[in-house]
Structure 1
Amino acid sequence: MRVLVKEKIAEAGIDVLRQDFEVDFLPEMSREEMLKEIGGYDGLIVRSGTDVNAEVIQAATNMRVIGRAGVGVDNIDVEAASKRGIMVINAPQSNIISAAEQTMALLMALCRDLPDAVNSLRDKKWDRKRFEGVELYHKVMGIIGLGRIGSLVAQRCAAFGMHVVAYDPYISDERAKKQGVELLSNLDDVLNRADFISVHLPKTNETYHLLSDEEFARMKDGVRLLNVARGGVIDEEALARALDSGKVAGAALDVFENEPAVDNPLIGHSGVIATPHLGASTQEAQDRAGVMIAEQVRAALNGEFVANVVNLPVPAEVDEDVKAFMPLAEKLGLLLTHLVEGHVDEIEVEYLGGLASYETGVLTVAVLKGFFEKIVSEPVNYINASIFAKERGLTVRETKSESTRDYVNLIMTRGKRDGDQVAVGGTLVGLTNSERFVHVYEYDIDLGPSQYMAFFRYADIPGMIGKIGTILGDNDINIAHMQVGRRKIGGEAVMGLNVDTPIPEAVMDAIRRTPKVKDSKFITLW
């Protein structure tokens, strides 16, 4: 078998491949040459500089695996690869140490104003008074997002004698305590207490501009801010205002909302230390990515276990009736993530009806994949989803019953914590296996999944549907479908909506302020 290495990776990685395969290292190969020759290769390894689009994949008639030496796969058409049965793999853990160390490097530079001090001395100035810094010792570091990189940063900050607090609604208290971290119950508590704040979150619809004017106002005066995670989590215009007012004493940024960020006004701000997205830019991280991806490509071509598959194919032994439910199971996990309030101790997946007679483990993993999709910063697949659950101390339980009241097959998913639970349920209906959400919270509804959805709980009294609908209509939000569920007249009701466009937070706040509205959630499913 033959492997094309299209971009530079560690020589040790190429040596791994050469143990079993014929390897061509051709970084100078033109796109025209690649399209002509790619049909002769079984494996392909790239970094971010090669566009592996549908045209390339169509020409790769013998291709079995595409490896990305790094994390992001934006330059690979994963859908086209999946249709051709080509495995796409990456190396998501190759850069976590480098990203944590970049955070610490920026932290030290920020508290001692090192870049300006270096430039001043180069200008032949010996200005010791101007560059009086602050110590880390006994300061409070607030970490937002206690995943793998956030945890490494927490360990390193503790070594400097800092008290580390964190907010991550999906991490258990027990896990945080093992790391010596004080886990706080809400974001505001971190903002109020921290002298330094470091962001370690994926960029999602929920985390976009998570830190904006209101959040800066709740921070300590003179707070210092770091972001080596994802651009867009911090509202850059709001940050500029906070810097200008002195609320934020300084910010160290390695990522920006739009990159390259050479024209970003924050780059020239006197209170900002900026680097050009260097979190993974160490020799060790690059070498590690090359070796890791080479080992994975080798395993894939040899038919061995591969951990980091972005588009893991469904195993052939999975029954076709079960396969049909996998996309729905993922969506149920996504929906559960949005509806639960923070960390859960247990996820129970119950299979009712005909499904209960099948091996359903792959569906339970699909629920976990959906649940973690927008929580962790790494790509989630059918292998590492269970690992993420274990790392977070999450108990996963599967139950079955072949009897069901209303549907031939039903999947019920419950997130549980301290005796409370949130439940969502779904099924497939009709000859086309149309996906339906048929249970939300504790109420029966019948609503198809859509990109934009909203759910409202309110007192079941006359006029409530009209009040909510009027607020949406006044703000040009079009309702495509609506379903209402209730248990008894005059009790509590839940309304589920499919809407055509995102609902702004200000509109959701207006609905939340409506008397008798108990809970309101807008959801972007994909």
Structure 2
Amino acid sequence: MKVLITEKLAESGVELLKEDFDVDVLLDLSDEELLERIGEYDGLIIRSATQVTADVIGRADNMKAIGRAGIGVDNIDIEAASKRGILVANAPESNTIAAAEHTLGLMLAAARHIPAADASLREGKWKRGEFKGVEVAEKTLGLVGLGHVGAIVARGALGMRMKVLAYDPYISDEKIRQMGVHRAESVEEVLENADFISLHVPRTPQTTGMIDSAALGRMKPSAYLINVARGGIVNETDLYNALKEGTIGGAALDVYAEEPNTGSPLFSLPNTVVTPHLGASTVEAQDRAGVTAAEQVAFALRGEVPMHAINAPVPEGEGAEFVGRFSELCESLGKLLYGLSDRPGETLKVEYRGEVAEFDTRLLDVSAQKGLLAPMVHEPLNFVNTPALARERGLKVETSRVPEDGAYTSLVTLRMQTRDGEHAVSGTLIGTGMRPRLIGAMGFTLDITPEKHMLFIRNKDMPGMIGRIGSVLGEAGLNIGNMAVGRDEPNSGAAMAVTVDEEVPDEVLQQLLEIPGFTEARSVTL
């Protein structure tokens, strides 16, 4: 598979991709050139300059994953990518330290007039009296957004003996308390009470222009506004007027509505500190972003789900990595459920028991659907397009949770009602390596490690049945890897799960069914 990189990326990230993929680094492609070339590639890695529009995605016939080396994805048409089953992932934590440090740096620069004092001294002037600043200690820092960057800024501010007032409706009261931060109930509360106000929200239709003349009018006349988040959140015309009229004390800006920007009227004002979008511009952040984006694309191209996927059901919060380990098991169970059913039904029931039931399992729901649908569709399935394809086929998914399971620490069971009755398969992960284990199928307990090629037998519980299977498979040149046997009461029904090195042909299955005592034989490829 081929990966295109259109902007400067850390060499370590490029080398990571080259281990498994053909990589083209084509910098400074025009929009027309990108449209012409994009159809060749399976993966794409960009930064902020490349515009991945609906037109680009429309021509990306082979595209499976887009990686953004950074946090913002507003230069990617996420909706268009999702409709085509293209996974989009970013590197949300790669530049958090850099952006937070730049925020604190701009705050201090504005408070102490550092850029103006530096420029004055370089001109041969010694004007200490003109650059009298203010201390940040005992002042209130207001944060609009308390995500990754905002949280680091809060810790730094607390270390400088500032009070921190934060508005973020998505952060729990417990986390607010643990951080030593005061909760604001609205953006207006932050604007009215803070001495320094720092923005940490994405640019969305709801946040675009949120800091306008009305918002600026709520700020203290001595307050400073800081924006290292996204351009467009602040109405720059309204900010210019407020600064020129002295409605607020000053502003420190790193991002702008249109970039690159060298002619903004804001740059002419003495009470502004401005930088050219340097929030993520550190050696460490650039390296982290490049490597993370490369890792995300590599995961996606291998059929795995990246942990920073934007448009796929990535586990969130505590236990995310633990849940991710069950994805392969759930996909195998979905394939197995299909293989053991004559015709899949309309409702897939997924039951989680034990520890796994305590966490966000949306990824596992999709993994199970992905396995179930794989034999039915003629297009590649991934964690983006699977839910849509399932809905198109009328497949409903119902989940249930049982906090504790007496036999296993965690257990996943898939059930489906078909015309010939209900089918169910169960599995878990075992050992320190958390290896997949099939626990139940065909109505019996069958403890076996799932392999690519498997044979499932239903038979009468009578002497010699295992030997007969061995003889038939041996005569056909099929080597047995492992076997598990399950049964009810002695001399009643029984079942066997057998792993083999190759797929069992239909004629061998028919040969088994011609032997008295064997009632069902199915070959399943996982």
Q: How does 1:142-157 map to 2 (within 5 A)?
A: 142-157=142-157
- Give the aligned residue type for 1:129: G
User: 1:52: how far off?
Assistant: 4.0
User: 1:290: how far off?
Assistant: 0.8
2:223 maps to what in 1?
Answer: 223
The structure-2 alpha-carbon separation of the partners of 1:74 and 1:215, relative to structure 1 and needing over 3 Å to count, comes to closer
The CA distance in 2 between the partners of 1:147 and 1:313, in whole Å, is 20
User: 1:84: how far off?
Assistant: 3.7
- Give the aligned residue type for 2:288: R
Given that 1:73 and 1:90 are in contact with CA atoms closer than 8 Å, whether structure 2 keeps it comes out as: yes
1:507 maps to what in 2?
Answer: none
Given that 2:350 and 2:400 are in contact with CA atoms closer than 8 Å, whether structure 1 keeps it comes out as: no
When structure 1 is superposed on structure 2, of 167-176 and 109-118 the one drifting more is 167-176
User: 1:359: how far off?
Assistant: 4.6
1:2 maps to what in 2?
Answer: 2
Q: How does 1:274-353 map to 2 (within 5 A)?
A: 274-312=274-312
When structure 1 is superposed on structure 2, of 93-102 and 238-247 the one drifting more is 238-247
User: 1:246: how far off?
Assistant: 2.9
For the aligned residue pairs, the C-alpha RMSD in angstroms reads 3.7
1:249 maps to what in 2?
Answer: 249
Q: Secondary structure at the match of 1:299?
A: helix
The structure-2 alpha-carbon separation of the partners of 1:172 and 1:311, relative to structure 1 and needing over 3 Å to count, comes to closer
The CA distance in 1 between the partners of 2:56 and 2:215, in whole Å, is 46
1:271 maps to what in 2?
Answer: 271
The structure-2 alpha-carbon separation of the partners of 1:142 and 1:356, relative to structure 1 and needing over 3 Å to count, comes to farther
1:94 maps to what in 2?
Answer: 94
Given that 1:143 and 1:198 are in contact with CA atoms closer than 8 Å, whether structure 2 keeps it comes out as: yes
Q: Secondary structure at the match of 1:130?
A: helix
Gaps of 5+ in 1: 320-353, 367-380, 383-396, 401-526
Q: How does 1:115-514 map to 2 (within 5 A)?
A: 115-312=115-312, 358-359=349-350
Q: Secondary structure at the match of 2:299?
A: helix
User: 1:108: how far off?
Assistant: 1.1
Deviations 1:247-280 (CA, angstroms, capped at 9, x unpaired): 4121111223344443322221111112222222
The structure-2 alpha-carbon separation of the partners of 1:264 and 1:365, relative to structure 1 and needing over 3 Å to count, comes to farther
User: 1:223: how far off?
Assistant: 1.4
Q: Secondary structure at the match of 2:129?
A: coil
Q: Secondary structure at the match of 1:165?
A: strand
The structure-2 alpha-carbon separation of the partners of 1:57 and 1:20, relative to structure 1 and needing over 3 Å to count, comes to same
The structure-2 alpha-carbon separation of the partners of 1:11 and 1:55, relative to structure 1 and needing over 3 Å to count, comes to same
User: 1:121: how far off?
Assistant: 0.9
The CA distance in 1 between the partners of 2:191 and 2:313, in whole Å, is 43
Q: Secondary structure at the match of 1:103?
A: helix
When structure 1 is superposed on structure 2, of 291-300 and 167-176 the one drifting more is 167-176
User: 1:205: how far off?
Assistant: 4.0
Deviations 1:2-47 (CA, angstroms, capped at 9, x unpaired): 3333332111111211222233333366777766665554323233
The CA distance in 1 between the partners of 2:77 and 2:241, in whole Å, is 39
The CA distance in 2 between the partners of 1:99 and 1:120, in whole Å, is 27
User: 1:147: how far off?
Assistant: 1.7
Q: Secondary structure at the match of 1:129?
A: helix
User: 1:166: how far off?
Assistant: 1.6
User: 1:399: how far off?
Assistant: 9.6
Q: Secondary structure at the match of 1:248?
A: coil
User: 1:55: how far off?
Assistant: 5.4
Q: Secondary structure at the match of 2:143?
A: strand
User: 1:210: how far off?
Assistant: 3.3
1:16 maps to what in 2?
Answer: 16
Deviations 1:319-338 (CA, angstroms, capped at 9, x unpaired): 9xxxxxxxxxxxxxxxxxxx
2:103 is aligned with 1:103: yes
The CA distance in 1 between the partners of 2:279 and 2:21, in whole Å, is 32
2:486 maps to what in 1?
Answer: none
The CA distance in 2 between the partners of 1:36 and 1:240, in whole Å, is 42
Deviations 1:306-331 (CA, angstroms, capped at 9, x unpaired): 12223338999799xxxxxxxxxxxx
- Give the aligned residue type for 1:17: L
Given that 2:313 and 2:362 are in contact with CA atoms closer than 8 Å, whether structure 1 keeps it comes out as: no
User: 1:222: how far off?
Assistant: 1.1
The structure-2 alpha-carbon separation of the partners of 1:250 and 1:291, relative to structure 1 and needing over 3 Å to count, comes to same
Identity over aligned pairs, percent: 49
Given that 2:243 and 2:250 are in contact with CA atoms closer than 8 Å, whether structure 1 keeps it comes out as: yes
- Give the aligned residue type for 1:262: T
2:371 maps to what in 1?
Answer: none
The structure-2 alpha-carbon separation of the partners of 1:89 and 1:193, relative to structure 1 and needing over 3 Å to count, comes to closer
- Give the aligned residue type for 1:125: K
1:470 maps to what in 2?
Answer: none
Task: Give the count of matched residue pairs.
Answer: 338
User: Which protein has the larger Cα radius of gyration, Structure 1 or Structure 2?
Assistant: 2
Gaps of 5+ in 2: 315-326, 335-344, 353-358, 364-382, 385-398, 403-526
The structure-2 alpha-carbon separation of the partners of 1:82 and 1:237, relative to structure 1 and needing over 3 Å to count, comes to closer
User: 1:77: how far off?
Assistant: 4.3
When structure 1 is superposed on structure 2, of 267-276 and 35-44 the one drifting more is 35-44
User: 1:286: how far off?
Assistant: 1.8
The structure-2 alpha-carbon separation of the partners of 1:192 and 1:291, relative to structure 1 and needing over 3 Å to count, comes to same
Given that 1:111 and 1:135 are in contact with CA atoms closer than 8 Å, whether structure 2 keeps it comes out as: yes
When structure 1 is superposed on structure 2, of 98-107 and 81-90 the one drifting more is 81-90
Given that 1:87 and 1:313 are in contact with CA atoms closer than 8 Å, whether structure 2 keeps it comes out as: no
Deviations 1:408-438 (CA, angstroms, capped at 9, x unpaired): xxxxxxxxxxxxxxxxxxxxxxxxxxxxxxx
2:81 is aligned with 1:85: no
Given that 1:82 and 1:313 are in contact with CA atoms closer than 8 Å, whether structure 2 keeps it comes out as: no
The structure-2 alpha-carbon separation of the partners of 1:134 and 1:356, relative to structure 1 and needing over 3 Å to count, comes to farther
The CA distance in 2 between the partners of 1:59 and 1:66, in whole Å, is 14
Given that 1:85 and 1:313 are in contact with CA atoms closer than 8 Å, whether structure 2 keeps it comes out as: no
Given that 2:252 and 2:273 are in contact with CA atoms closer than 8 Å, whether structure 1 keeps it comes out as: yes
Given that 1:300 and 1:306 are in contact with CA atoms closer than 8 Å, whether structure 2 keeps it comes out as: yes
The CA distance in 2 between the partners of 1:29 and 1:204, in whole Å, is 27
Q: Secondary structure at the match of 1:48?
A: coil
Q: Secondary structure at the match of 2:164?
A: strand
The CA distance in 1 between the partners of 2:188 and 2:29, in whole Å, is 52
Given that 1:88 and 1:311 are in contact with CA atoms closer than 8 Å, whether structure 2 keeps it comes out as: yes
The CA distance in 2 between the partners of 1:250 and 1:300, in whole Å, is 45
The CA distance in 2 between the partners of 1:360 and 1:268, in whole Å, is 63
Q: Secondary structure at the match of 2:262?
A: coil
